[in-house]
Structure 1
Amino acid sequence: MPTLPPEQPRSPEVETHQLRKAAQSFGSDAERYDRARPRYPDALLDRIATPGARVLDVGCGTGIVARQLQAAGCEVLGVEPDARMADVARRLGVEAEVAPFEAWDPRGREFDAVVAGQAWHWVDPVAGAARAAQVLRPGGRLAAFWNVFQLPPEVAEAFAAVYRRVLPDSPFNLDTLVKQPLDGYRALLVKAVDGIRGTGTFGEPEEWHYDWEWPYTRDAWLDQVPTHGALTRLPPDKLAEILEGIGAAIDTVGGGFTMRYTTVAVTATRTAEVR
């Protein structure tokens, strides 16, 4: 998922998709990433692709989305810039090619759907949408989606206090932990929509929302924390301090909590003509 808490707006000269070191930091512990990260609502994936569809999974990571689509009867190819993540995907039964999506060679292959779970913000939104249009059959769907989570208020306040204490100079926007997390994603969603519209090859983009919940034990949440954005690059002592503080906060609310998720998708279908 995008870093939670989200980062403060960056200089306009630096876009998220240009931060290649950050984008490829998740492979430092790819097995943990696959184990700990949440999955996606079946209702969303069923709406994107039907059984038998050929699907391209952009930024497939360890194959979380791809395996869900395979289980639904789809044929899936993954594209992933980090070889460590792609290796895990292959070991778990997903065909994956290593390349940034913008530079990936489709070799004439076509797909019924192009998807990106937690990954489209690492792709140039203009070049990525153009490449998706290139490989989609007429009527095929592009869908980029993210899991946005909202902590219970008392847990959010406690977690924010830990981040402020351990990482006082962090670029994270900690206010979104205790307010409306989806607001922190609005600029990201707008960029995705603008990129799709800019190709001139898609119908009008839509935004879909799916609300769901997931219970976390103390250990399950602490397993996921090191996979969040810039935390993948923290010095071990700082990460340990964060984990200790967050673990103590979870203990104070009974050793677990229920997370509210909204999976939000930006999606559009390709028109018959590609410019």
Structure 2
Amino acid sequence: MPNLPSEPHRARSLAESFGVDPERYDRARPSYPGAMVDAIVAASPGPDVVDVGIGTGIAARLFRAAGCRVLGVEVDPRMAGWARRHGLDVEVSAFESWDPAGRVFDAVVAGQTWHWVDPVAGAAKAADVLRPGGRLAAFWNAGQPPADLAEAFADVHRRLLPDLPTAPAPAPGYSSFTDLAVDGIRRTGRFGEPEEWRFTWERAYTRDEWLDALPTSGTHTLLPPDLLAELLAEVGAVVDAAGGGFVVRYTTIVVTAARTAG
């Protein structure tokens, strides 16, 4: 994954770039494992959930299917509009400045978005809106293609995007996100000790599916069209040489803590 600033929540232009094509984002982005949703729901005191950075509703639909009442908070009106058109309740705001209007919830969740939230202010806001025992759960998908393909993809990125170095495996980049989340939760003094949960799963990609997903990730959303087209052509050639498809092994990493009674 491309390197991100040490404080990614300050990179607002990147954080708000994902709504350029909500339909593609919703279609191409990976989902989350049902076991993770079940674990978060089971560890929460009730069904009322706030989804921070709901986006197009990829995670929200899973929680709704598990019996939750989901309210989305989304900074990008384009994403919020897409989610609303597909039956989700969304309020447009940055989470740190969102006004819950006295409402309280059983869980605050954030799928692939908590690194765009100030880790301390966000955790404090979560504590404000959670009832005692309510759960904050921030989670990320870290995907690992086969090692030879990962290295070939990284080589393409190094040649075409020399100012945005890409590691062969995306998983290590998430340790900074989880560290920031844990630190923010601890600094509020309003949660129990954070835990890290991990869920592994796999998804098979065709060439077209991988090329559909690539423009929705990281700084790819900001690339000039001609450079993006060149990148997709070269990545597509790598996938073609590997037989036209491959399997990505995902680890979904969850940082979670329960709000204390104080």
TM-score between the two structures when normalised by the length of structure 2? 0.96
Aligned residues: 260
Aligned residue runs from structure 1 range 85-124, under 5 A: 85-124=79-118
Instruction: Tell whether the 8 Å contact from 1:49 to 1:55 is kept in structure 2 after alignment.
Output: no
Q: Distance in 1 between matches of 2:253 and 2:69?
A: 23
In structure 1, stretches of 5+ residues that fail to align are: none
Encode CA deviations 1:40-99: one digit per residue, 9 max, x unaligned: 011111111159600000011111111111111110000000000000111111100000
2:143–2:249 CA contact under 8 A, matched in 1: yes
Pairing of 1:65-214 with structure 2 (within 5 A): 65-170=59-164, 172=165, 174=166, 176-178=167-169, 181-214=170-203
| Deviation at residue 163 of structure 1 after TM alignment | 0.8
Q: Do structure 1's residue 36 and structure 2's residue 28 form an aligned pair?
A: yes
Q: CA deviation at 1:6?
A: 3.7
2:242 paired residue number: 253
> In 1, are the aligned partners of 2:195 and 2:255 still within 8 Å (CA)?
yes
Secondary structure of 2:168's match? helix
Partner of 2:209: 220
Residue 177 of structure 1 deviates from its aligned partner by 1.6
| Cα distance in 2 between the residues matched to 1:177 and 1:211 | 19
Which residue among 16, 20, 45 is the counterpart of 2:12? 20
Contact 2:132 2:259 in 1 (8 A): yes
Rounded Cα–Cα distance in structure 1 between residues aligned with 2:111 and 2:162: 30
For the residue of structure 2 that corresponds to 1:49, the secondary structure is helix
Amino acid at match of 2:247: T
1: distance between equivalents of 2:80 and 2:232? 27
Give distance in 2, aligned partners of 1:41 and 1:6: 24
Question: What amino acid maps onto 1:248 in structure 2?
Answer: A
1:166-185 residue CA offsets vs partner (Å, 9 max, x unmatched)? 11222x3x2x324xx33222
User: SS of the counterpart of 1:177?
Assistant: coil
Indicate yes or no: 2:75 matched with 1:61. no
What is the TM-score of this pair, normalised by structure 1?
A: 0.92
CA distance in 2, matches of 1:232, 1:202: 35
Summarize deviations over 1:15-39 as a string: whole Å, max 9, x none. Answer: 2101111110000011100110010
2:3 is matched with 7
In the other structure, the counterpart of 1:244 is 233
Runs of 4+ in 1 over 6 A off after TM superposition: none
Structure 1 residue 157: deviation in Å? 1.6
- The answer to whether the Cα contact below 8 Å between 1:149 and 1:260 also exists between their aligned partners in 2 is yes
Structure 2, unmatched stretches of 5+, are none
Which amino acid is the alignment partner of residue 13 of structure 2?
A: K
Task: Summarize deviations over 1:167-209 as a string: whole Å, max 9, x none.
Answer: 1222x3x2x324xx33222121111001000111100000000
On the 8 A contact 1:151/1:177 being kept in 2, the answer is no
Contact 1:209 1:262 in 2 (8 A): yes
- CA–CA distance in 1 between the matches of 2:28 and 2:40? 24
CA–CA separation in structure 2 for the residues paired with 1:224 and 1:182: 17
